[in-house]
């Protein structure tokens, strides 16, 4: 006669480290660290959420009750601070832990959800929600959904549909709202129903100049380019100037600056009849490729209009 099975919570426990390793979450978090420079408080919060979800899974497997967690989030911060990248990694973490079926990310703005005439908004919003089911819906600049100054605006209809789905389908869809912090705060004040459904508020800080320099190195490396010693110094000066000017968008502005430097680099090579197309020449950004930027046309601290990298 075989011995009766023991209750799940009486089975020998494994170590949490082993469970973490077998879950695949450790590698996803490591990937987030590799992809994103800085953002220590954001990464810490993502690790906390992942830890909570993993422990909830372990508790459920051993017979302990665990209420279904609310996973809808708000990512607030300035442009170019990594919100979309973190949302993508969050979708993968949720999928790895079994909280969403597919683990994909659908990124949208107001125009993807709100129609221009009566009867247009509901089908648009429901179509986007259908695409996002089983994953994460990322709504950038979410505060534009609510425009109380316009009596004929249909954004409120989209919000009401979102609220219903966020409540009724929270085991199959996670919604992440994103945008500037002050505007998101006002949005939640005007929409208490939406605020009550957001469990996690994560603030994304601006990057420091040193962090932006490291981000530039990562971007160049991915494109198989490099700075020489002089251009690295010039780019540090560029960042100091650009960060004081309007419409600076953190890593996004860095990418734009590098794209323009690559254009100047290519033009410089083709316009030099004596240029040798060896590996060093084809991959090295030099000081002139950066110094031609309009940012250097103005004394530091003054605005350029229009200001373009």
For position 17, what pLDDT does the model report?
Answer: 66
Model pLDDT for residues 163-206, shown as the tens digit of each residue: 999 999 988 999 999 999 999 999 999 999 999 999 999 999 99
**Domain 209-297 = CATH 1.10.8.60:** yes
For position 129, what pLDDT does the model report?
Answer: 97
For position 299, what pLDDT does the model report?
Answer: 65
For position 3, what pLDDT does the model report?
Answer: 47
To which H or E segment does residue 159 belong? Answer: helix 155-168
Cis peptide before 306 (omega within 30 of 0): yes
Other beta carbons within 10 Å of 263: 12
89 alpha-carbon distance from chain centroid: 8
Model pLDDT for residues 79-110, shown as the tens digit of each residue: 999 999 999 999 999 999 889 999 999 999 99
**Fold entry, domain 13-204:** Rossmann fold (3.40.50)
User: Distances from the Cα of 279 to the Cαs of 224, 226, 282, in angstroms?
Assistant: 10, 11, 5
For position 32, what pLDDT does the model report?
Answer: 86
Domain boundaries along the sequence of the chain: 13-204, 209-297
For position 104, what pLDDT does the model report?
Answer: 96
To which H or E segment does residue 160 belong? Answer: helix 155-168
For position 19, what pLDDT does the model report?
Answer: 66
Other beta carbons within 10 Å of 303: 10
For position 21, what pLDDT does the model report?
Answer: 64
User: Distances from the Cα of 212 to the Cαs of 89, 237, 242, in angstroms?
Assistant: 21, 12, 11
> Which own/partner contact pairs does 144-150 have at CB distance under 8 Å and 24+ positions apart?
144/109, 144/110, 145/110, 145/113, 145/114, 145/187, 146/187, 146/190, 146/191, 148/190
Task: Pick out the chain residues at pLDDT < 50.
Answer: 1-6, 8-11, 303, 305-306, 308
For position 207, what pLDDT does the model report?
Answer: 97
For position 126, what pLDDT does the model report?
Answer: 97
For position 20, what pLDDT does the model report?
Answer: 65
């Amino acid at each position: 006669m075989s011995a009766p099975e023991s209750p799940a919570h009486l089975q020998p426990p494994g170590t949490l480290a082993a469970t973490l390793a077998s879950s695949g979450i450790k590698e996803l978090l490591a990937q987030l660290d590799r992809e994103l420079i800085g953002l220590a408080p954001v990464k810490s919060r993502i690790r906390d959420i992942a830890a909570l979800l993993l422990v909830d899974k372990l508790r459920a497997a051993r017979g302990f009750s665990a209420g279904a967690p609310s996973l809808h989030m708000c990512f607030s911060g300035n442009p170019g601070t990594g919100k979309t990248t973190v949302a993508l990694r969050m979708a993968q973490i949720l999928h790895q832990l079994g909280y969403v079926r597919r683990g994909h990310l659908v990124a949208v703005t107001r125009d993807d959800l709100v129609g221009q005439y009566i009867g247009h908004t509901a089908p648009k919003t429901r179509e986007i929600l259908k695409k996002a089911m089983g994953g994460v819906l990322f709504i950038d600049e979410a505060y534009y959904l609510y425009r109380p100054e316009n009596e004929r605006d249909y954004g409120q209809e989209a919000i009401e549909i979102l609220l219903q789905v966020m409540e009724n389908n929270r085991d199959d869809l996670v919604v992440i709202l994103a945008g500037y912090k002050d505007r998101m705060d006002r949005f939640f004040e005007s929409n208490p129903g939406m605020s009550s459904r957001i469990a996690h508020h994560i603030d994304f800080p601006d990057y420091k100049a040193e962090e932006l320099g490291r981000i530039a190195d990562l971007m160049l490396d991915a494109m198989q380019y490099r700075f020489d010693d002089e251009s690295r110094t010039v780019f540090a000066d560029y960042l100091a100037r650009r960060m004081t000017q309007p419409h600076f968008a953190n890593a996004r502005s860095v990418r734009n600056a590098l794209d323009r430097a690559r254009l100047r680099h290519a033009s410089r090579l083709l316009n030099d009849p004596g240029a040798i197309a060896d590996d060093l020449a084809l991959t090295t950004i030099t000081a002139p490729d950066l110094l031609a930027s309009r940012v250097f046309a103005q004394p530091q601290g003054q605005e350029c209009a229009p200001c373009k990298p």
